[in-house]
Amino acid sequence: MRLNRPAALVVAVLTLAPWAYFVFFFTHFMSRFPLLPSSGTPPDEFFKDFEAIFRLQIIVMVLVLALIAFYIVHLFRTDRVPKDKKALWAVVLFLGHVLAMPVYWYFYMWPRGTGGAA
């Protein structure tokens, strides 16, 4: 199973989306915590932001689960990964998903010349 360049780029963008969400979350949402009053109820704006962030978090979590499934299916259907490394990559992708997926993508998904994997 080999991906052409446009498909590989789409997978790369989806793979980097959780990282972009992480940056967005900490810059947008976490920066507002010091501004909350220490006693009493938070303002209504906080709850609107929280609801939006909560929905976005659910979407990102579903995306990560879908990416894990896609990467593991790709792993066992491709001929670019050596057979003796497939089980190791499956464990690494399952346990270190957000960290491991960009590395796996770089080594085994990006279409290279006729030489195969790096």
Q: Which of 78, 85, 80 is nearest to 115 (CA)?
A: 80
Between 23 and 33, whose confidence is greater? 23
Please report how the helices 86-95 and 97-104 are oriented relative to each other, as an axis angle in degrees rounded to 10.
140
Count of domains observed in the chain: 1
pLDDT for res 15: 97
Q: How many Å apart are CA 97 and CA 94, to the nearest integer? A: 5
**Residue 81 located in a structural domain:** yes
**Residue 54 located in a structural domain:** yes
**Residue 82 located in a structural domain:** yes
pLDDT for res 50: 80
Per-residue pLDDT tens for 60-78? 999 999 999 999 999 999 9
Q: Which domain holds residue 99?
A: 5-34+45-109
For 77-111, give the secondary structure using H, E and C: HCCCCCHHHHHHHHHHHHHCHHHHHHHHHHHHHCC
* Pair of tokens at residue 82: 């050596």
pLDDT for res 96: 95
**Residue 91 located in a structural domain:** yes
